[in-house]
Structure 1
Amino acid sequence: MAGSNVVRCQPTALCDRLCSTDDCMPGTGVYLRHGYIYSSLAGYVLRKNEGEELPVISVVRETEAQLLPDVGAIVTCKVTSINPRFAKVHILYVGSTPLKDRFRGTIRKEDVRATEKDRVETYKSFRPGDIVLAKVISLGDVQSNYLLTTAENELGVVVAHSEAGAQMVPISWCEMQCPRTHAKEFRKVARVQPEYLQA
């Protein structure tokens, strides 16, 4: 899914008019008539942007609809890289439901926690490989990165491994400890660990 942006719209009925051919291109589950695109089945409308072309509009049955991260959804993601301004992640789950496709997300420095935002240091909050519980704020820039936050107490790192390779144990809201070496590392720790994430 790299470089693409998929938006799932409202449910649609058979023969609903979806858009003009000036605004989008037909995909699967639709047909053309007099310059407009219509639904050829009842289901969900998918609008997919590829590069600078017009978005492709398709309709899929409810059982085939891809679950997408919506604003306000709690997602589980894996940190892929960090820099002083933000952490990059791949979104793996919406709630407890795994995603079929890969979606990218960004946790900006100012969205890491609710207080003392100006004192947040990204490398003291996340490390590559960490599993993080976050909330979707919005669909961000043209690279289709979702903007995420871990500002609530229940959000943050839920699984992290030490340099020794052991799964670390939270010891406070900002530290985790390796059970093998007892070394401590800074993290923005989630207060609640969902059952489906526990090893």
Structure 2
Amino acid sequence: MEEAEMVTPGEMLGRATELKAGKGAYVVQHNKNIYASLTGFRRIQSPPPDSPDQRPTVEVTGHKAHGPVPEPGSVVIARVTKVMARIASADIMCVGPKSVREKFSGIIRQQDVRATEIDKVDMHLSFRPGDIVRAVVLSLGDARAYYLSTAKNELGVVSAESSAGNKET
């Protein structure tokens, strides 16, 4: 077994052609490199023998990485921080029932707000800064944010403030 190496966010962990990105890691698409998104220890997991993808998985564990980490398919609770014409930015506060220990950013793209009539979505009518949303993680995105979706009936805004300042739930 190899010696565990301490890594910090942004540090290169390997190439996506040789490894898969696991928890605490992400792939930058333009250069196919895998980088750490957390401070912790670099670990390589062997693939299960029956897995069609036989690349080992590289992940960051331990240190601050022991809290919950968003991953594709996870349901998250996030606070909307900024709304623009095509995207809304949000800070992820919980992954499943557990609150996160580190700051994770998410982006909800216009096409991921709802399942139908995607072209008619008005981001400013869908979200306001301060809204609390339930969303599912689509992908690890890039170094800056996870891609989130609210395009299911059980997802979307769970708490908001009206333009008059009243709490809406």
Aligned 1:84-103 pairs, distance under 5 A: 84-103=85-104
Distance 1:106 1:64, change over 3 A: closer
> RMSD of aligned C-alpha atoms?
3.1
Asked whether the equivalents of residues 76 and 93 of structure 2 are also in contact (C-alpha less than 8 Å), the reply is yes
Aligned 1:47-196 pairs, distance under 5 A: 55=36, 58=41, 60=61, 65-143=66-144, 145-169=145-169
Q: CA deviation at 1:93?
A: 0.3
Asked whether the equivalents of residues 24 and 65 of structure 2 are also in contact (C-alpha less than 8 Å), the reply is no
- How far apart, in 2, do the equivalents of 1:63 and 1:142 lie? 18
Distance 1:108 1:47, change over 3 A: closer
Q: Residue in 2 aligned with 1:17?
A: 2
Q: Which amino acid aligns with 2:133?
A: V
Report the TM-score when normalising by structure 2.
0.66
Q: CA deviation at 1:48?
A: 8.8
Task: Figure out how many residues of one structure are paired with residues of the other and give that number.
Answer: 129
Higher relative contact order (CA 8 A, sep 6+): 2
SS in 2 for 1:123: helix
Asked whether the equivalents of residues 47 and 57 of structure 1 are also in contact (C-alpha less than 8 Å), the reply is no
Q: CA deviation at 1:142?
A: 3.1
Distance 1:73 1:18, change over 3 A: farther
Q: CA deviation at 1:46?
A: 5.3
Report the TM-score when normalising by structure 1.
0.57
- How far apart, in 1, do the equivalents of 2:26 and 2:86 lie? 29
Distance 1:17 1:118, change over 3 A: same
Residue deviations 1:51-98 (CA, integer Å, cap 9, x gap): x9x757616559971210110000000000011101000000011110
Q: Which amino acid aligns with 1:17?
A: E
Q: Percent identity?
A: 39
Post-superposition, which runs of at least 4 consecutive aligned residues in structure 1 deviate over 3 A?
45-49, 54-57, 59-64
Q: Residue in 2 aligned with 1:31?
A: none
Q: CA deviation at 1:100?
A: 0.8
- How far apart, in 2, do the equivalents of 1:103 and 1:142 lie? 10
- How far apart, in 2, do the equivalents of 1:68 and 1:106 lie? 16
Q: Structure 1 regions of 5+ residues with no counterpart?
A: 1-15, 20-25, 29-44, 170-199
> Which has the larger Rg?
1
Q: Structure 2 regions of 5+ residues with no counterpart?
A: 8-22, 28-32, 43-60
Q: CA deviation at 1:27?
A: 1.1
Distance 1:136 1:87, change over 3 A: same
Residue deviations 1:146-169 (CA, integer Å, cap 9, x gap): 000000011000000123322125
